[in-house]
Amino acid sequence: MQASTITAVEIYKLNIARQTQFRIAIGVFDTVQNILVRIHASDGRYGLGEGAPLPFLCGETQAIAFEASKELAGLLIGRDPYAVETRMQELGSYLVHNTTARSAFDMALYDLLAKRAGLPLYALLGGEKRSLTTDETIGIDTPEAMAAEALEAKERGFVAIKVKLGTGWPGDVARIQAIRDAVGEDILLRIDANQGWDPVTAEQILQELARFDIQYCEEPVAHWNSEALRHVRDKSPIPIMADESLFDHHDAFRLASMGACDYFNIKLAKSGGIHTALKINAVAEAAGIQCMVGCMSETRLGLTVAAHLVSARPNIVFADLDSAFGKTDVVDGGITYDGGEITLPDDPGHGADINPEFLESLESCTIT
């Protein structure tokens, strides 16, 4: 049988306006400026992937990811699309960083492989379809506005709410006080400081917030200060989750060896896709650390791929896959939501695509 090859790669700039501004400790989201990659194989199949650049986290803008993708695409033309391990090693060796761009190619290649196998992606990865629940994230605002938004999320059926913090004392404490008073005791609260606190402030605030029954806190201090993260974790009554300090399996090994955190937050845009995400989870399992899969600014396409990963690995016990909310939905197929409950598609591949009419309107280029 003649081997399949990659014949063309289409790269798109995906721009979608947000309905409202979303603020975290290290930046503000006004619009979605992602990239899409569609890889065509000689057997007639194609795979689709999405990259969600976040310059203040991954160091990539849409323009950077778009140009990097042109070079990555050139490496793939004429190569076997189903040798995913080899293809991802080649892309990672060529561009050591640029994880956002690489994640789009990774998703597209896994989509192709699962389509050829005739399996949904979670099954290709050796998993089974599981019941998944996401939280909804509340951006930084006044305590009153955040409490109102949290109450609305509860009324829409969410059982877990993630709260963005990181402005310091006393504002962050006031935000959690207002939210807990609004939603009551039966809602899970998770917090994310996005590196916004110095180590002393982190210790003080986490001690104060313990009375509000917080499930965990993400990245309380600067991503580069792993020693401070370990120290904060040792003192904190609230479990600590590594996020911005965790990009790949080497970071996972370092953080686990140091005892710097209780949980890992895996994001495909940080890891460069499923290929490395699986390695992070393997390190986590060996170290007895449970994981979450989170998101950046992905549409339901990128979130669908992330949900397949969650379903495929029992050690991934949390999902933060809510970035599709608050913007126009341009995805056909893919995951569906009922409040915070997520249902995965059973189609071969990841099961999501971009609306064809919308796709035609996007700026793009094709590498052959």
Query: Of 243, 251, 298, 320, which residue is the catalytic one?
Result: 243
Contact at 8 Å (CB) between 62 and 13?
A: yes
- In the numeric block, the tokens 């170290």 are attached to 287
Query: Of 115, 162, 267, 270, which residue is the catalytic one?
Result: 267
Q: What's the maximum distance between 2 C-alpha atoms anywhere in the chain? A: 67
Which segments of 206-324 are extended strands (E)? 214-218, 240-242, 263-266, 290-293, 316-319
Cβ neighbours of 299 (radius 10 Å):
24
CB burial readout 28-52, b (16+ within 10 A) else e = ebeebbbbbbbbbbebebbbbbbbb
The CA R_g of the chain, rounded to the nearest whole Å, is 20
Q: Helices 274-287 and 300-312: crossing angle, nearest 10°?
A: 40
Give me the amino acid identity at 37.
V
**322 counts as catalytic:** no
Query: Of 192, 320, 322, 353, which residue is the catalytic one?
Result: 192
**267 counts as catalytic:** yes
Which segments of the chain are extended strands (E)? 6-24, 27-41, 46-51, 132-133, 136-138, 160-164, 188-192, 214-218, 240-242, 263-266, 290-293, 316-319, 331-333, 336-338, 341-343, 352-354, 364-367
CA distances from 127 to 14, 15, 123 (A): 30, 33, 5
Q: Across the strands, what pairs with 161?
A: 136, 189
Query: Of 218, 219, 320, 353, which residue is the catalytic one?
Result: 218
**270 counts as catalytic:** no
Token couple for 46: 């194609």
**164 counts as catalytic:** yes
Helices (runs of H) and strands (runs of E) counted in the chain: 14, 17
According to DSSP, residue 118 is labeled T
Query: Of 164, 251, 320, 327, which residue is the catalytic one?
Result: 164
Catalytic residues: 164, 192, 218, 243, 267
